[in-house]
Amino acid sequence: MAAVSVLTLTGVTASLGGRIVLDDVDLSVAAGELVAVVGPNGAGKSSAIRALAGLLPLTVGHARLDGDDVAALSPPQRARRVAYLPQERRIAWNLPAIEVAALGAPFLQAADAHARAQAALNEVEAGHLADRGVAEMSGGERARVLLARALATGARGLLVDEPIAGLDPDAQLMVLERLQARARGGQAVLVSLHDLALAVRFADRVAVLDQGRVVADALPMEALSPDIMARVFGLTGRWIAGPEGPLLAAGRRQLAG
């Protein structure tokens, strides 16, 4: 029996400022699956995630959550179906971490929301920060709190845009381990990454975007073949076996002239 798609883009084209950022994109994430979307800067990774969150108007095509068109869902309906963690880590007020994380569970009573928030903070190894103001934290600590807010929703879909940017190596692994565990628990997880080796290590599938188009969508090492790495990323690379997963040996491709 085929897995049910929770997050789906079908024939999606979208523009920002007169520039096409998504060009006839098809992408789906099933329940229980972690899909990494990779590509150069400006390739359309964040745009694909924002389209699924209902935050990017579409020129053509459809974005669906659990089969329903995002455009036909109210904001509360979208919030129940999908959690969204943007790249930006700005928090306007110096709220305690537990209050920020509890914002991810707005449909629960206060006590239940705080319990959910504390569990999510513990999950990202930030439980000790529960009572600390977010303005008093490092950037990495705030990143964990914001991830906890997304995890606290309990939504079937999870959209995570560059969650490991600026984190130390241990924290990067922890975040991706938690996202992988959420997928194994039945959520549909779409995450944008720049680290190709970590994408291969943790994702069930990798979708490669380039200039707004999906140029590969397959098992990780198939999607990030030497040919794709050369054409899309300008890299000469090959995968070698490592004790914790595949390692990427890569260099910059030398251009003629």
74-94 tens-digit pLDDT: 999 999 999 999 988 778 789
Domain covering 5-252 assigned CATH 3.40.50.300 in the classification: yes
pLDDT bin (cut points 50, 70, 90) of residue 1 is very low
- Domain ranges across the chain: 5-252
114: three-class secondary structure by DSSP: helix
The mean pLDDT value of the chain amounts to 93
Q: Is residue 162 predicted with pLDDT exceeding 60?
A: yes
Q: Is residue 4 predicted with pLDDT exceeding 80?
A: no
pTM of the model: 0.94
Position 104 scores a pLDDT of 94
Position 246 scores a pLDDT of 87
Alpha helices in the chain (DSSP H): 45-52, 75-81, 97-102, 110-123, 139-151, 169-184, 196-202, 220-223, 226-233
Quote the DSSP letter at residue 204.
S
- Measured CA to CA, the distance from residue 71 to residue 87 in angstroms comes to 23
104-120 tens-digit pLDDT: 999 999 999 999 999 99
- Which residues neighbour 198 within 8 Å (Cβ) at sequence distance 6 or greater? 164, 172, 173, 176
Position 254 scores a pLDDT of 66
End-to-end alpha-carbon separation of the chain, Å? Answer: 53
176-215 tens-digit pLDDT: 999 999 999 999 999 999 999 999 999 999 999 999 999 9
